[in-house]
Chain A
């Protein structure tokens, strides 16, 4: 079975631009969470979506938004990019009622 997939793998943007990152969960998983991992740090929770509804949000500004589609895939959008948004963005999925999250390979975003 395929694991969590994310696209693109790498992305370069300039300050002020907008970016959309995509995630496809493991088949059968209905919960998707997004994390930001800045170089040298642990991942920080951004959002959780379950059954297309936001179920949790971390301490991130409103420039960050996300949505989940009927097929349970998800997009993370970041507007008005700042240099500090440069990071590895990780998506994780989990089965309904399960605590274990399975992570994708991430999208590495560089903001110049």
Chain B
């Protein structure tokens, strides 16, 4: 079975500060890992994904995440927060070889950015 745990339902940072959103997963098979962002009253937008290869993955809007198999983690970071980064962030996992099928999401982390 697969599961995702996002540590911290709410994170608050100052504009220009480092953003760190934590995600740990459980999977008995090699996983695909994703980060999605959801702005108020909108759907989900893909930030980045890890499938195979390089464990440090760069995404849109300056975000990146590192797959650490030994720690079963896929934490999301951004060196300098911007006001426009305020949103809900979801980490998700699926089975390797999954083709458009079941994504398992964490509970989400709401990011607030203070001026």
Binding site for B on A (CB under 8 A): 4, 31, 33, 35, 40-45, 48, 50, 55-56, 58, 90, 92-106
Q: Are B102 and A41 in contact (CB under 8 A)?
A: no
Q: Are B100 and A43 in contact (CB under 8 A)?
A: no
- Chain B 1-60 interface residues, beta-carbon cutoff 8 Å to A: 4, 32, 34, 36, 42-46, 49, 51
A99: contacting residue among B42, B44, B94, CB under 8 A: B94
Binding site for A on B (CB under 8 A): 4, 32, 34, 36, 42-46, 49, 51, 90, 92, 94, 98-108
Q: Are B99 and A94 in contact (CB under 8 A)?
A: yes
Q: Are A43 and B103 in contact (CB under 8 A)?
A: yes
Q: Can you spell out 27 A-B residue pairs with CB atoms less than 8 angstroms apart?
A: A4-B43, A31-B99, A31-B100, A31-B101, A33-B103, A41-B107, A42-B4, A42-B90, A42-B92, A42-B105, A42-B108, A43-B103, A44-B105, A45-B102, A45-B104, A48-B100, A48-B102, A90-B44, A93-B100, A98-B99, A98-B100, A99-B32, A99-B49, A99-B94, A100-B34, A102-B46, A106-B42
